[in-house]
Amino acid sequence: MKLLLIYYTGTYNTRYLTDRAEKLFTARGHSVERVEIRRGTPPVDPRGFDLIGFGYPIYGFNSPLPFNRYVQSVPIRPGQKFFIYKNSGETLALNNASSRILLRRMHRRGGVFAGEYHFVMPYNIHFAFDRPFVREILDYDEKLLRIMLHCLETETVQSVPSNPLYNAAAAVVSVQKIGGSVNSFFYRVDPEKCMRCMRCVQDCPENNIRIEKGKIRFGHRCDMCMRCSFFCPADAIRIGMLQGWKVNGDYRLAEIASSPLPEKPYIDENSRGFYKCFIRTFRAIDQQYAALFGADDARAAAKSDLPAE
């Protein structure tokens, strides 16, 4: 297959998944081209590709606005096959509604749905995940990537079911519509901490950060992607009303992925509170993975036997 992966990323979690997907696809003999969306990325011509993969992080139960805008600019022809690989920090059912705009637009243009896959990735907002939890998440992502590849190769369509209630609720909480432009009035850089490394200026996907008379200034074209504050090596950026939810510091995903899995599963049937939603997600991946490929380790086998909630 000739694949085109079109994705948006703030703090590179989606880029990580795209890297992994590309590796797996090419190892199976498929060819992959990719487009990372930033301001000014020209619309790609999808002619000649057998399959388009759309990747995005979930923002407030929705797909990011720059992602939606870009996809709208891609000239899709009737019959074009596509799939979705999205990711988010938790697996609340409201996240299931996040692809509704993309699906509607692709459907209108005659796109042929080939599947949707929801990956868990560490939060880049709210709070930082522990390293052992991230290690476990990446293990499940690897399994889901293999499931995705298998389903795409065998033309098995897997979907993430939403419903009108979730769709309506997700549309209401689409905070990003005005969130970035309003919140950016309150962004500040601590002059004591800032090292003028210019990383934020160079990396902003909207080219929304500039330096003026030695000071970092923000425009109001913010996607709320968190890249500037997340990767700031001096943790010098205050992100207005979201400051209490700021996460600073690269997870170093590739490094974590190559470290050994923790002895004891981070998520098990006793996980409670925030972590409870992962039990069902991880168990579903274990079961599907074991059914397709056989349980690859003792832990996967044990988990797939967990009783239903």
Ligand X SMILES: Cc1cc2nc3c(=O)[nH]c(=O)nc-3n(C[C@H](O)[C@H](O)[C@H](O)COP(=O)(O)O)c2cc1C
| Residue ranges that bind ligand X, judged by CB under 6 A | 9-14, 57-61, 87-90, 95, 121, 123-125, 224-226
- Compute the least distance from the CB of residue 166 to ligand X, in Å: 12
Alpha helices in 2-97 (DSSP H): 13-27, 65-73
- Which CB atom, from 9 or from 281, has the smaller least distance to ligand X? 9
Half-sphere exposure of 60 (CA within 13 A, CB side): 19
- Compute the least distance from the CB of residue 109 to ligand X, in Å: 25
Contact 234, 200 (CB under 8 A): no
- Which CB atom, from 32 or from 224, has the smaller least distance to ligand X? 224
- Compute the least distance from the CB of residue 80 to ligand X, in Å: 24
- Which CB atom, from 138 or from 300, has the smaller least distance to ligand X? 138
- Which CB atom, from 61 or from 83, has the smaller least distance to ligand X? 61
- Which CB atom, from 98 or from 288, has the smaller least distance to ligand X? 98
Q: Which amino acid does the sequence have at 117?
A: Y
DSSP-derived secondary structure for 72-116: HHS-PPTT-EEEEEEEES---GGGGGGGHHHHHHHHHTT-EEEEE
- Compute the least distance from the CB of residue 61 to ligand X, in Å: 5
- Compute the least distance from the CB of residue 298 to ligand X, in Å: 29
- Compute the least distance from the CB of residue 266 to ligand X, in Å: 17
- Which CB atom, from 277 or from 290, has the smaller least distance to ligand X? 277
Write out the two tokens for 34: 């990719």
- Which CB atom, from 18 or from 304, has the smaller least distance to ligand X? 18
Tell me how crowded residue 111 is: count the other CB atoms within 10 A of its CB. 21
Q: Which amino acid does the sequence have at 47?
A: R
Q: Which amino acid does the sequence have at 57?
A: P
- Compute the least distance from the CB of residue 11 to ligand X, in Å: 3
Task: Give the 3-state DSSP-derived string for 181-220, with helices as H, strands as E and coil as C.
Answer: HHHHHHEEECCCCCCCCCHHHHHCCCCCEEEECCEEEECC
In the chain the first and final C-alpha atoms are separated, in Å, by 39
